[in-house]
């Protein structure tokens, strides 16, 4: 894992209260149809006052087979999915986290699972490539993301008018060391497509744990429902506050969850419980630890 990548200088003025939204979808194999649904949901979120909107993992395509995403992969900076995100961000004057989309990889038979961030001018200002690739062999469920996805190796944090935002995608949620490597972040965004099987037991406690241990707001966008390809995703898109409280949640189906971020409240929690300043162990290579 390469060193922390901070993608922008810290703004002089950080907003103290603002609304955020996590989008939930049940995407299918047609990019155009998925983008139309995402358009509707982004507009819904913006109309409710959200200034930061997060889309789910692979919001633009959930193919009939895993290799389908190779056919719609895009070059960085061009393509219909990236143009769509730029258009939506500038049109609605929002910061948009483009869930994740397939971008070209070093291997021609794979893609990068890339989370892109656009500012309210429609400019892409950050990119995170999913580091941890999902693998599951459980009953009739078989997932091997490494067959079609090339892993990233860089932790990404971006400075925004809303504070420092750390980027993660789905399976990353199971690896707390990734979030510790972000240093101190104010908001964590997590586009996801958790399986129904694992999500029933693991999703909520993992999302809340990452928020609690980092004293951060966590915006978890999700795929949620039955997909044309036969897959079932867990849903339960949610926004969680730094104390671990779920501020809003959607169990299944397409929709948005909206919540208010209060940075003064967050600061008071970090002052009352300064756990982030009490860390004494530093992870070293080989699994060793030292003070």
- Which of 73, 74, 170, 249 does the annotation list as catalytic? 170
C-alpha dihedral sign at 201, 202, 203, 207: positive
Q: Decide if 177 is catalytic.
A: no
Q: How many CB atoms lie within 10 A of CB 16?
A: 14
- Which of 57, 74, 145, 150 does the annotation list as catalytic? 57
b vs e for 79-91, b when ≥16 Cβ sit within 10 Å of the residue's Cβ?
bebbebbbbbbbe
Please state, in angstroms and rounded to a whole number, the distance separating the CA atoms of residues 100 and 132: 14
Cα distances from 25 to residues 110, 166, 176, 247, in angstroms, run 24, 22, 26, 19
- Which of 51, 73, 110, 130 does the annotation list as catalytic? 130
Q: Decide if 115 is catalytic.
A: no
Strands (E) across the chain are located at: 2-6, 17-25, 50-54, 95-97, 101-104, 111-118, 124-129, 135-138, 141-144, 154-160, 163-167, 187-192, 217-226, 232-234, 237-240, 246-250, 255-262, 282-283, 289-290
Among candidate residues 62, 52, 54, 61, the one with its CA nearest the CA of residue 23: 54
Q: Decide if 19 is catalytic.
A: no
Please state, in angstroms and rounded to a whole number, the distance separating the CA atoms of residues 126 and 236: 26
According to DSSP, residue 220 is labeled E
Catalytic residues: 57, 130, 170
């Amino acid at each position: 894992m390469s060193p922390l990548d901070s993608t922008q200088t810290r703004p002089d003025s950080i907003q103290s209260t603002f609304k955020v939204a996590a989008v939930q979808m049940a995407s299918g194999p047609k990019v155009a149809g998925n983008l139309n649904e995402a358009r509707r949901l982004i507009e819904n979120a913006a109309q409710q006052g959200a200034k930061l909107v997060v889309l789910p993992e692979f919001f633009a395509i959930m193919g009939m087979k895993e290799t389908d995403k190779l056919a719609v992969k895009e070059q960085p900076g061009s393509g219909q999915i990236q143009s769509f995100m730029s258009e939506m961000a500038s049109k609605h004057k929002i910061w948009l986290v483009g869930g994740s989309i397939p971008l070209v990889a070093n291997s021609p038979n794979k893609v990068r699972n890339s989370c892109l961030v656009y500012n309210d001018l429609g400019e892409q200002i950050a990119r995170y490539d999913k580091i941890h690739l999902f693998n599951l062999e459980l009953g009739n469920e078989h997932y091997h993301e490494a067959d079609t996805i090339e892993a990233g190796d860089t932790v990404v944090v971006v400075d925004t008018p809303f504070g420092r935002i750390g980027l993660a995608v789905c399976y990353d949620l199971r690896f707390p060391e990734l979030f510790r490597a972000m240093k101190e972040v104010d908001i964590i965004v997590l586009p996801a497509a958790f399986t129904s099987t694992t999500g029933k037991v693991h999703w909520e406690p993992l999302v809340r744990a990452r928020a609690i241990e980092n004293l951060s707001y966590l915006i978890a966008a999700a795929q949620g429902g039955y997909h044309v390809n036969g897959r079932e995703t867990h849903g339960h898109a949610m926004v969680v506050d730094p104390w671990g409280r779920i501020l809003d949640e959607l169990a299944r189906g397409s929709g948005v969850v909206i919540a208010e971020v209060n940075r003064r409240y967050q600061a008071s929690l970090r002052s009352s419980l300064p756990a982030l300043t009490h860390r004494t162990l530093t992870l070293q290579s080989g699994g060793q630890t030292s003070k």
